[in-house]
């Protein structure tokens, strides 16, 4: 090891050893150096052999100058199982799921849709501060959630409520978070739609975009990758799934996440919801390549593009990706093409940047809920009568949960101070006490009536 | 530059030459004994580059933690990491170049001992390193991430401030990344210049949710690092790189903890309080001696150790403002990026600290 350090100093490289250093040390035969690329073979140094010897790529020489043309006219094809009318195209691709399961798909998507309508309205009426709908993307949530195990860890961005819905997260808790009331597991700390649930293995949503990716919200993929690595080490037979939009995929954290997942061989599914817009920014201003799926191979990642509005296509792709990710300890990238029918959020009016006709096309001609309903009806598993009943029932359930959530108080103000650290530092306790004293004198100027005593 | 670094390592063990003159006595530098002559301009120029601005003062051998061994600071770090990986099977160490032992040798031998799934290189991407570490910690496993130089921590700033620090709070304690520790070499080293000398703790000092720790010595480093690793909150541990080889003392072989958020009064005094952390503690220790000797002033020397959450009670009482006989004086680097050749003028050396103290006494 002294040789290594000496070499580093002699070569004056300020960030560890450069390529020179590695070459020097290879020649010196220092133990433990060539192990950094287990998949690459040690190349034989023969002067008679004209093959490339570069450690950085496994490729042949070419003597013709030719740039690779990115193919965006005829990009990676989109896998689908049903046509736009919900008819199976290739029967061998039909997952042939039992009626009960497909009905659960349908009910999850429609209940989510109903909840979205009511909560969007409630924001408009000033009852909650903010909301984001999932219109048009319900298929991506439910198809993927159904293909996972219940214990697979989910890192979402912010438009994946259907995953929680499929995992039977109660309406009461969705509402509690949006209202930030005493029942909110998040203790009222975040804006609406920042759900989290430990027992359903759904990591709490955060706002900064793409931060969840390295971790495993906008959270970037990094943390998801780290969680996958830990799951691999623990032999947990779990996969981590990380959802993000095509906009978040532009973040540096996405690049970091993909690269780490591939080099560290993590069992993770990167699920990109390509819905055409990042707030007002269309995909033509977000990237120039062939979407997100085309980036996967650049990192050495198995990749596929699917019709996100086809719940069976999403299901099949996720199921197979999960099986192989766990079996082979490698990442998979699924780009689910879909369309964001709703506005970005209640703070957005998308008529400012897209036509109503465009939106209507997707709402009427290619909606994941309609396509699944047609499938159900053609199987004889659903009819108009049941549709009417279910709509009434789901609306009633949502309204009940909504009214109850609205009546509950917010948590006690002292919860402003807890969970910063595992233990409360002395300074923070002093601040908490100082607020309590302040409220004794000035309490009338604060909305104490809405907060639990 | 590389050669100067090698010699500087040996010279740092010598006491800095006394004030005045360009006469230098060179010992252990491969030159004949008694080599004492007026230095030529060239030699003189080379020498001022190599002499440190402080003298490391080892603490007395600790007796309460069992057998000790002579270790420098990077060896003390290795020892702490070794202890951690031995007792916590979930613990992993990762970052750039940690597999072969690290650019400062802090992880030497660990990959061979614990396996390549526990001590491994990552791609060159600090935001990825920290994000990845957060994810490991979210599952409950212990993540020890290395950032190669504190100067490169900034791409990870978003992950640290917006994610790690807020994970527990924003989820209502459903999730946390408390088992994450980030380590980084820190501070001036004589020739590090703009991007190998920075002390960025101030950027994190007002971020609730993380802890930031800076040790002054090998014994302190091992105990504090072990506390950071075991602490249930994400921690950043900055290691004064100039002390990696220069600081040598007896360090217990077995694991032990030094508590976080507790400053240490190294020397009691009654006239002036001097507060510092990391390398600077040794500077102010010397300033305290100079003050006693030349001014008859009794100084209290405090090593802050944890920057956030910091030990307010030890350093000052809230009411102390009315008891101060002079305004508080801060002696720091200037409001410029860290320079290269100007380092001797830039750093808050003992003469500047002494001068500030002298002015304070005469306020």
B354–chain A nearest CA distance, Å:
32
B89 interface with A at CB cutoff 8 Å: no
Give me B246's structure tokens.
């220069």
Q: Could you report the per-residue pLDDT of A229-244, keeping only the tens digit for each?
A: 999 999 999 999 999 9
Chosen from B6, B103, B114, B128 to mutate, greatest number of chain A CBs within 10 A: B128
Q: Tell me which of A207, A280, A370, A418 is the catalytic residue.
A: A207
User: CA dihedral defined by B85, B86, B90, B95, rounded to 10 degrees?
Assistant: 10
- Please give the residue of chain A at the shortest CA–CA distance from B138: A227
In this predicted structure, what is the pLDDT of residue B241?
Answer: 98
**Could you tell me if A245 and A160 are in contact, meaning their C-beta atoms sit under 8 angstroms apart?**
no
CB pairs < 8 Å spanning A and B: 221
pTM of the model: 0.86
Question: What Cα–Cα distance (Å) separates residue A4 from each residue in A152, A427, B115?
Answer: 42, 47, 20
Closest CB from B132, B174, B233 relative to A421: B233
Q: Tell me which of B96, B126, B239, B343 is the catalytic residue.
A: B126
Q: Is the pLDDT of residue B123 over 60?
A: yes
Cβ of B173 and A233 within 8 Å? Answer: no
| Helix, strand and coil percent figures for chain B, each rounded to 5 | 40, 15, 45
Cβ of B168 and A421 within 8 Å? Answer: yes
User: CA dihedral defined by B237, B242, B244, B250, rounded to 10 degrees?
Assistant: -100
CA-to-CA distance for B25 and B14, rounded, in angstroms?
10
**β-strands B264-267, B299-303 pairing:** antiparallel
Please name which of B304, B139, B338 lies closest in space to residue A215, comparing C-alpha atoms: B139
Closest CB from A204, A263, A427 relative to B170: A204
- Please give the residue of chain B at the shortest CA–CA distance from A185: B172
User: Which runs of E-coded beta strand occur in A15-130?
Assistant: 78-79
| Helix, strand and coil percent figures for chain A, each rounded to 5 | 45, 10, 45
Q: Is the pLDDT of residue A300 over 70?
A: yes
Q: Output b/e per residue, A204-237; b: 16+ Cβ within 10 A.
A: bbbbbbbbbbbbbbbbbbbbbbbbbbbbbbeebe
CA-to-CA distance for A298 and A255, rounded, in angstroms?
10
Sequence-distant contacts of A230-233: CB under 8 A, at least 24 apart:
A230/B90, A230/B135, A230/B136, A230/B139, A230/B140, A230/B141, A231/A153, A231/A267, A231/B139, A232/A265, A232/A266, A232/A267, A232/A329, A233/B90, A233/B92, A233/B117, A233/B118, A233/B141
In this predicted structure, what is the pLDDT of residue B317?
Answer: 55
Q: Could you report the per-residue pLDDT of B133-182, keeping only the tens digit for each?
A: 999 999 999 999 999 999 999 999 999 999 999 999 999 999 999 999 99
Q: Is the pLDDT of residue A5 over 60?
A: no
Q: Determine whether A275 is exposed, middle or buried from the number of CB atoms within 10 Å of its CB (0-12, 13-18, 19+).
A: buried
Q: What is the mean pLDDT of chain A?
A: 90
Query: Which residues of A are less than 8 Å from B232 in CB distance?
Result: 421-423
Would residue A121 show up in a list of annotated catalytic residues for this protein?
yes
Please name which of A99, A245, A104 lies closest in space to residue A162, comparing C-alpha atoms: A104
Neighbours of A399 (CB within 10 A): 13
Please name which of B89, B88, B108 lies closest in space to residue B97, comparing C-alpha atoms: B108
CA-to-CA distance for B127 and B117, rounded, in angstroms?
21
Residues of chain A with pLDDT > 90, as a percent, come to: 83
**DSSP character at residue B123:** -
Q: Could you report the per-residue pLDDT of B43-78, keeping only the tens digit for each?
A: 565 666 567 889 999 999 999 999 999 999 999 999
Higher pLDDT, A363 or A8: A363
Confidence of residue B6 (pLDDT cuts 50, 70, 90): very low
B150 interface with A at CB cutoff 8 Å: no
**Interface list for B 297-326 with A (CB within 8 A):** 309, 312-313
Question: CB under 8 Å to B294, separation ≥6 — which residues?
Answer: none
**DSSP character at residue A34:** G
Q: Tell me which of A13, A93, A121, A201 is the catalytic residue.
A: A121
Q: Could you report the per-residue pLDDT of B209-229, keeping only the tens digit for each?
A: 999 999 999 999 999 999 999
- Please give the residue of chain B at the shortest CA–CA distance from A223: B135
Query: Which residues of B are less than 8 Å from A211 in CB distance?
Result: 131, 158-159, 162-163
B138–chain A nearest CA distance, Å:
7
CA-to-CA distance for A106 and A99, rounded, in angstroms?
11
CA-to-CA distance for B90 and B179, rounded, in angstroms?
10
Query: Which residues of A are less than 8 Å from B173 in CB distance?
Result: 187, 418-419
Neighbours of A137 (CB within 10 A): 27
Chosen from B95, B115, B132 to mutate, greatest number of chain A CBs within 10 A: B132
Cβ of B2 and A9 within 8 Å? Answer: yes
Q: Tell me which of B53, B96, B163, B196 is the catalytic residue.
A: B196
Q: Is the pLDDT of residue B18 over 60?
A: no
Closest CB from B109, B128, B174 relative to A260: B128
Bridge partners of A277? A282
Question: CB under 8 Å to A254, separation ≥6 — which residues?
Answer: A210, A213, A220, A221, A244, A248
Query: Which residues of B are less than 8 Å from A422 in CB distance?
Result: 168, 176, 178, 232-233
Give me B310's structure tokens.
């910091």
Q: Could you report the per-residue pLDDT of A388-425, keeping only the tens digit for each?
A: 999 999 999 999 999 999 999 999 999 999 999 999 99
Q: Could you report the per-residue pLDDT of B293-317, keeping only the tens digit for each?
A: 999 999 999 999 999 999 999 988 5
Closest CB from A14, A33, A419 relative to B100: A33
Q: Could you report the per-residue pLDDT of A338-349, keeping only the tens digit for each?
A: 999 999 999 999
In this predicted structure, what is the pLDDT of residue B110?
Answer: 98
Closest CB from B2, B139, B232 relative to A422: B232
Please name which of B123, B101, B96, B128 lies closest in space to residue B112, comparing C-alpha atoms: B101
**Interface list for B 103-122 with A (CB within 8 A):** 103, 105, 108-109, 111-112, 116-118, 120-122
CA-to-CA distance for A417 and A284, rounded, in angstroms?
44
Question: What Cα–Cα distance (Å) separates residue B214 from each residue in A409, B199, B237, B238, B246?
Answer: 44, 10, 6, 5, 16
Give me B248's structure tokens.
């040598």
In this predicted structure, what is the pLDDT of residue A222?
Answer: 81
Would residue B254 show up in a list of annotated catalytic residues for this protein?
no
ipTM of the shown complex: 0.84
In this predicted structure, what is the pLDDT of residue A407?
Answer: 96
**DSSP character at residue B61:** P
Helical spans, DSSP H, in chain B: 2-11, 41-50, 73-87, 110-114, 126-138, 157-158, 167-170, 201-204, 218-230, 243-246, 280-295, 312-315, 343-346, 350-361
Question: CB under 8 Å to A318, separation ≥6 — which residues?
Answer: A143, A144, A146, A147, A148, A241, A269, A271, A334
B148 interface with A at CB cutoff 8 Å: yes
Confidence of residue B324 (pLDDT cuts 50, 70, 90): confident
Q: Is the pLDDT of residue B15 over 50?
A: no
**DSSP character at residue A82:** B
Confidence of residue A109 (pLDDT cuts 50, 70, 90): very high
- Which helix (H) or strand (E) covers residue A369, if one does? helix A368-379
Q: Could you report the per-residue pLDDT of A49-84, keeping only the tens digit for each?
A: 789 999 999 999 999 999 999 988 899 999 999 999
Confidence of residue B26 (pLDDT cuts 50, 70, 90): very low
Cβ of A15 and B127 within 8 Å? Answer: no
Closest CB from B117, B123, B170 relative to A233: B117
Cα diameter, chain A:
90
Please name which of A84, A60, A52 lies closest in space to residue A310, comparing C-alpha atoms: A84
Please name which of A278, A30, A87 lies closest in space to residue B99, comparing C-alpha atoms: A30
Please name which of A329, A405, A362, A378 lies closest in space to residue A127, comparing C-alpha atoms: A405
Q: Is B277 helix (H, G, I), strand (E, B) or coil?
A: coil
In this predicted structure, what is the pLDDT of residue A43?
Answer: 53
- Please give the residue of chain A at the shortest CA–CA distance from B109: A1
In this predicted structure, what is the pLDDT of residue A45?
Answer: 58
**Interface list for B 26-85 with A (CB within 8 A):** none
Cβ of A229 and B135 within 8 Å? Answer: yes
Closest CB from A223, A240, A422 relative to B163: A223
Q: Could you report the per-residue pLDDT of A139-197, keeping only the tens digit for each?
A: 999 999 999 999 999 999 999 999 999 999 999 999 999 999 999 999 999 999 999 99
Chosen from A223, A301, A411 to mutate, greatest number of chain B CBs within 10 A: A223
Q: Is the pLDDT of residue A128 over 60?
A: yes
Chosen from A215, A237, A250, A430 to mutate, greatest number of chain B CBs within 10 A: A215
Closest CB from A9, A36, A213 relative to B121: A36
Question: What Cα–Cα distance (Å) separates residue A128 from each residue in A347, B145, B272, B313?
Answer: 12, 40, 55, 42
B189 interface with A at CB cutoff 8 Å: no
Higher pLDDT, A289 or B322: A289
Query: Which residues of B are less than 8 Å from A186 in CB distance?
Result: 170-172, 174
Q: Is the pLDDT of residue A199 over 60?
A: yes
Chain CA centroid to CA B220, Å: 10
Please name which of B8, B298, B138, B37 lies closest in space to residue A223, comparing C-alpha atoms: B138
Confidence of residue A214 (pLDDT cuts 50, 70, 90): confident
- Which helix (H) or strand (E) covers residue A376, if one does? helix A368-379
Question: What Cα–Cα distance (Å) separates residue B7 from each residue in B11, B13, B240?
Answer: 6, 11, 19
In this predicted structure, what is the pLDDT of residue B316?
Answer: 82
Chain CA centroid to CA B101, Å: 19
B169 interface with A at CB cutoff 8 Å: yes
In this predicted structure, what is the pLDDT of residue B52?
Answer: 85
Please name which of A37, A158, A102, A12 lies closest in space to residue A312, comparing C-alpha atoms: A102
């Amino acid at each position: 090891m002294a040789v290594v350090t000496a070499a580093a100093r002699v070569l004056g490289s300020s960030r560890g050893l450069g390529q020179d250093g590695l070459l020097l040390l290879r020649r010196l035969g220092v133990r433990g150096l060539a192990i950094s690329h287990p998949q690459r073979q040690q190349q034989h140094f023969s002067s008679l052999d004209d093959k490339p010897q570069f450690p950085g790529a496994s490729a042949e020489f070419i003597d013709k100058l030719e740039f690779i043309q990115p193919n965006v006219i005829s990009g990676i094809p989109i896998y689908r199982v049903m046509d736009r009318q919900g008819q199976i195209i290739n029967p061998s691709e039909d997952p042939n799921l039992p009626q009960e399961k497909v009905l659960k798909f349908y009910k999850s998507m429609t209940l989510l849709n109903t909840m979205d309508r009511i909560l969007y309205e409630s924001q408009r009426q000033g009852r909650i501060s903010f909301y984001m709908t999932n219109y048009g993307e319900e298929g991506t949530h439910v198809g993927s959630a159904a293909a996972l195990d219940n214990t697979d860890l989910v890192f979402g961005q912010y438009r994946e409520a259907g995953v929680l819905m499929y995992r039977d997260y109660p309406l009461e808790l969705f509402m509690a978070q949006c209202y930030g009331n005493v029942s909110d597991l998040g203790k009222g700390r975040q804006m609406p739609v920042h759900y989290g649930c430990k027992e359903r293995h759904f990591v709490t949503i955060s706002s900064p975009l793409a931060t969840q990716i390295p971790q495993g919200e906008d959270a970037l993929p990094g943390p998801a990758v780290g969680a996958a690595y830990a799951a691999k080490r623990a032999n947990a037979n779990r996969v981590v799934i990380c959802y993000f939009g095509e906009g978040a995929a532009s973040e540096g954290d996405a690049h970091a996440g993909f690269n780490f997942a591939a080099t560290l061989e993590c069992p993770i599914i990167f699920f990109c919801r390509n819905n055409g817009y990042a707030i007002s920014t269309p995909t033509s201003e977000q990237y120039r390549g062939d979407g997100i799926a085309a980036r996967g191979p650049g990192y050495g990642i198995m990749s596929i593009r699917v019709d996100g509005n086809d719940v069976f296509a999403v299901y099949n792709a996720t199921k197979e990706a999960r099986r192989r990710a766990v079996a082979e300890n490698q990442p998979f990238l699924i780009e689910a093409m879909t369309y964001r029918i709703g506005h970005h959020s209640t703070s957005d009016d998308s008529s400012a940047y897209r036509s109503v006709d465009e939106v209507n096309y997707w709402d009427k001609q290619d909606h994941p809920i309609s396509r699944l309903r047609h499938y159900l009806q053609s199987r004889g598993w659903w009819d108009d009568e049941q549709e009417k009943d279910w709509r009434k029932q789901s609306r009633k359930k949502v309204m009940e949960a909504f009214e109850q959530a609205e009546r509950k108080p917010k948590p006690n103000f002292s919860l402003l101070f807890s969970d910063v650290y595992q233990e409360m530092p002395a300074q923070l306790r002093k601040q908490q006490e100082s607020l309590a004293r302040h409220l004794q004198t000035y309490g009338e100027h604060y909305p104490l009536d809405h907060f639990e005593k | 530059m590389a050669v100067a670094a090698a010699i500087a390592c040996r010279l740092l063990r010598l006491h800095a030459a006394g004030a005045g003159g360009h006469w230098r006595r060179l010992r252990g530098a491969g030159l004949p004994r008694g080599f004492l002559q007026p230095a030529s301009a060239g030699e003189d120029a080379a020498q001022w580059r190599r002499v440190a601005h402080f003298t490391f003062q080892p603490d007395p051998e600790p007796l309460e933690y069992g057998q000790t061994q002579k270790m420098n600071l990077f060896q003390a770090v290795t020892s702490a990491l070794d202890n951690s990986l031995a007792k916590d099977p979930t613990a992993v160490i990762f970052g750039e170049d940690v597999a072969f032992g690290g650019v400062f040798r802090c992880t030497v031998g660990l990959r061979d001992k614990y396996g390549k799934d526990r001590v491994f290189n990552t791609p060159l991407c600090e935001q990825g390193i920290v994000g990845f570490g957060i994810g490991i910690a979210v599952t409950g496993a212990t993540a020890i991430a290395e950032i190669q130089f504190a100067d490169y921590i900034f791409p990870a700033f978003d992950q640290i401030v917006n994610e790690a620090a807020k994970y527990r709070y924003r989820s209502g304690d459903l999730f946390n990344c408390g088992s994450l520790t980030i380590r980084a070499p820190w501070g001036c080293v004589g020739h590090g210049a703009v991007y190998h000398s920075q002390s960025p703790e101030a950027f994190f000092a007002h971020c609730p949710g993380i802890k930031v720790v800076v040790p002054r010595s090998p014994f302190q480093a091992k105990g504090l690092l072990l506390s950071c690793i075991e602490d249930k909150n994400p921690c950043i541990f900055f290691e004064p790189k100039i002390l990696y080889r220069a600081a040598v003392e007896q360090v217990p072989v077995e694991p032990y903890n030094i508590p976080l958020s507790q400053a240490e009064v190294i020397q009691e005094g009654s006239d002036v309080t001097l507060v510092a952390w990391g390398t600077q503690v040794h500077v102010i220790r010397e300033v305290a001696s100079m003050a006693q000797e030349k001014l008859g002033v009794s100084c209290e020397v405090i090593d802050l150790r944890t920057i956030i959450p910091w030990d307010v009670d030890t350093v000052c009482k809230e009411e102390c403002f009315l008891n101060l006989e002079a305004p508080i004086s801060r002696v720091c680097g200037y409001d410029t990026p860290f320079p290269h050749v100007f380092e001797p003028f830039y750093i808050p050396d003992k003469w500047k600290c002494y001068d500030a103290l002298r002015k304070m006494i005469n306020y």
